[in-house]
Amino acid sequence: MKAPIDFYFDFSSPYGYLASRKIEPLAAKHSRTVKWRPMLLGAAFKATGAAPLPSIPLKGDYAKRDFLRSARFHDVQFRLPDPFPISTVAACRAFYSLETEVDRIKLAKALFSAYFVDNLNIGEAENVLKVASGIGLRPDVNDQAVKDKTRAEVEAALAKGVFGSPYIVIDGEPFWGVDRFDQIERWLREPF
């Protein structure tokens, strides 16, 4: 039994969203499962000194164009939401408040679609709960134990070196970006 693939992402990350639509078929093809690990890019940005893409001169304009083109390239439905980016603390807490992997992944997919397809602001806790309730889930975003767990997960991600989204780790080998899926695919066949 091979180890699961660690899939770190931020719910506000367009490239994380694109990766979320591609990683499971890819993993399954290589008899792997995927451990979904939402984190908070804002915390990583404090460590690296990075800033949200749209706020960066030159790079911001390019990024907006590249989000759209990359979505077309990967054949994934996408619109740039407004507002963008957003804080995803509530989304993260809702995810980690759920008990089972199945429920967590179901919620993660629904939240990504709500934000990047339906333009629902999942930065608002009430919208997170609405999305969850629409698929029969009742996460808790206010419980202190959930807050502590979320913080611990984000800190653990930083401690592992996670600085961007998506950030994928396969048997200890890190890959940053949906544009590393070609390398991931080869690595899953055979490390090079």
- Please say whether the beta carbons of 83 and 127 come within 8 A: no
* Nearest residue (CB) to a second copy, 53 versus 108: 53
Min. distance of Cβ 161 from a second copy in angstroms?
5
**What residue ranges bind a second copy (CB under 8 A)?**
44, 47-51, 56-59, 61-62, 65-66, 69-70, 72-73, 158, 161-164, 174, 176-177, 179-180, 182-183, 186, 192
Beta partners for residue 8, in sequence order: 37, 167
Determine contact, residues 172/115, Cβ cutoff 8 Å: no
Q: How far is the CB of 86 from a second copy (least distance, A)?
A: 22
Of the pair 25, 65, the CB lying nearest a second copy is at 65
Contacts of 41 (CB under 8 A, 6+ apart): 10, 12, 13, 52, 85, 164, 165
Pick the closer one to a second copy by CB: 47 or 145: 47
User: Could you give the CA distance from residue 86 to residue 46 in angstroms, rounded to a whole number?
Assistant: 16
Pick between residue 108 and residue 184 the one whose CB is nearest to a second copy. Answer: 184
133-136 contacts, C-beta under 8 A, 24 or more apart = 134/110, 135/106, 135/107, 135/110
State the nearest-atom distance from the C-beta of 13 to a second copy, in Å. 15
CB of 40 to a second copy, least distance (A): 14
Closest alpha carbon to 27 in 162, 161, 154, 168: 168
Q: Please say which residue, 22 or 180, places its beta carbon nearer to a second copy.
A: 180
What order of strands is seen across the sheet that includes strand 173-176? 34-38, 5-9, 167-170, 173-176
d(Cα 96, Cα 115) in Å, to the nearest integer? 19
Minimum CB separation of residue 72 from a second copy in Å reads 5
**Between 6 and 103, whose beta carbon lies closer to a second copy?**
6
Shortest Cβ distance from residue 76 to a second copy (Å)?
Answer: 13
